[in-house]
Amino acid sequence: MPVEEAPDDDDVRQSYNVAPGYHELVYRADVPYYGAGGSRHSNENSEEGQSETEGHAKQLVGDTKETRYKLQSMKWGLVPFWTKRNPDYGSMMKTINCRDDSLAENRGMWNTMKQKKRCIVVCQGFYEWLKKNGGREKIPHFVKRKNGQLMCFAGLWDCAQYEGSEDKLWTYTIITTDSNAQLKFLHDRMPVILENGSDDIRTWLDPQRSTWSKELQSLLKPYKGELECYPVSKDVGKVGNNSPTFIVPIDSTENKNNIANFFGNAKTLAKGKEEEKEVLKAEEEVKSKGMNVENEDREDRKTVNKSMTESNAPLPVPQSDDSKAGIKREHDDDGIDIAGQASKAQKCSEASPSESRIGTARKTRSATSNGTVAKTSPAKPDGSQKITSFFNK
């Protein structure tokens, strides 16, 4: 799909371990900060649960007929537009994901976003943790499309401005639905995946559809395409760890064929002998040394094991509450960890405990708990591949 605006390549980089609170690329229609529909929020001080669709005060003049689309860096963990101050850690974790069934009625905190602020979250795949031994052990698995194309998650976005601040905060959430038959063994929830370049994506992003409908609700369903799912390194469970080997099967250091397959496309697509040498060098390092895990700058949060309704992923401990730090990152109720996102090179700068890991966390069955035709393009071993390049093919 077309992209009229995107961050500079120097401002984004690929991450293989995205956590809540990180800034990631989101694809959406190029509409004002108050969303589609040609009118501003009628009450920017509204509380959770109130509808924002009635009594719009001001009509936007000069709407363009042709829809433009953009890639934009947003923070994972939706902050509603009526929020006046930085939310606490627990509140932010509850808006990492949005359940599909919470959108069926025209009420609740998502009411404005689902009508006016829909988006697509683009990534290579996501992590889910398999519980074993009564939940005492959790094995991370990586899930991706079998055909190698990018995943396009249905999401919602919003824009808030805190009191006393001139800056706008752009945030998003990922919508979840019932797991399909293939992933039931992992968890009973999964992200809503829309088919790359499909009419479904065009419908979902269409800014002219500024009223929620049965057609939009019907798009939120388990993925019917073929997925590939396999165990990966437990190192992905630590916030800040980052390595291209996180999306390689766990036995790949023993099974040389898996490594060869992983780097095979990169060799084929390498432009010139120098680039091919770099690919071969990276492949040999993985074969000889196994996992090469780097830790992201300024990311030293510990993680803790908890149970969640949307995912079994580890939960990051707030930076302001080190006393509760645990051993691993495991979410409270729900969570989806994303891989292969082009992350903003600079981590989110807000000094608050609300920065957490990309995944969804929820304790109750509530509103918060319960692509484009992408060409296959292998990830560069150094993690520097730009996701924006997928939209320029």
For 91-140, how does the pLDDT look when each residue is reduced to its tens digit (9 = 90+)? 888 999 999 999 999 889 999 999 999 999 999 999 999 999 888 899 99
The number of residues making up the chain comes to 393
Residues 357-372: tens digit of each pLDDT: 333 333 333 444 443 3
Identify the band that residue 1 occupies on the pLDDT scale cut at 50, 70 and 90: confident
Q: Tell me the pairing of strands 169-178 and 69-76.
A: parallel
Strands 227-231 and 241-242 come out as unpaired
Q: Side chain identity at 140, as an amino acid letter?
A: P
Q: Percent of the chain having pLDDT more than 90?
A: 43
pTM, whole model, 2 decimals?
A: 0.69
Binned at pLDDT 50, 70 and 90, residue 297 comes out as: low
Quick one: pLDDT band at residue 340, thresholds 50, 70, 90?
A: low
Find all residues with CB under 8 Å of 80, minimum gap 6, and list them. Answer: 48, 95, 109, 113, 158, 160
Cβ atoms of 76 and 93 closer than 8 Å: no
Residue 201: predicted pLDDT: 96
Report residue 203 as tokens: 């419908």
pLDDT tens-digit map of 29-58: 999 998 887 666 654 444 333 333 333 333
Evaluate if residue 141 carries a pLDDT over 60: yes
Q: Is the dihedral of CA 379, 380, 381, 383 positive or negative?
A: negative
Section 316-323 average pLDDT: 52
Contacts of 165 (CB under 8 A, 6+ apart): none
Residue 62 has pLDDT above 70, yes or no: no
Helix, strand, or coil (residue 214): helix
257 falls in which pLDDT band (50, 70, 90)?
very low
Q: Is pLDDT larger for residue 123 or for residue 304?
A: 123
pLDDT of the residue at 251 = 78
Residue 348 CB coordination number (10 Å): 17
Looking at residue 361, its pLDDT comes to 32
* CA 3 and chain centroid, separation: 19
At 324 the pLDDT is 38
What is the mean predicted confidence (pLDDT) over 216-236? Answer: 95
With cut-offs at 50, 70 and 90, classify the pLDDT of residue 341.
Answer: low
From 68-77, 108-117, 127-136, 382-391, the region with the lowest mean pLDDT: 382-391
pLDDT for 379 equals 45
Question: Are the C-beta atoms of 244 and 381 separated by less than 8 Å?
Answer: yes
**Residue 69 pLDDT more than 90?**
yes
Rg value, the chain, Cα:
20
User: In this predicted model, which residue has the larger pLDDT, 334 or 138?
Assistant: 138
Angle between helices 256-269 and 273-289 (to 10 degrees): 170
* pLDDT tier for residue 278 given thresholds of 50, 70 and 90: confident
> What's the rounded mean pLDDT across residues 371-390?
44
CA distances from 99 to 63, 64, 73, 102, 279 (A): 32, 32, 23, 5, 41
Give me the pLDDT at residue 114, please. 97
Condensed to tens digits (0 to 9), the pLDDT of residues 178-203 reads: 999 999 999 999 999 999 889 999 99
Q: How far apart are CA 207 and CA 371, in angstroms?
A: 16
Residue pLDDT, tens place only, 237-255: 988 899 998 999 987 654 3
pLDDT reading at 266 higher than 70: no
CA distance 366 to 332: 14
Q: Residue 271: what pLDDT?
A: 62
Distance CA 133, CA 30 (A): 48
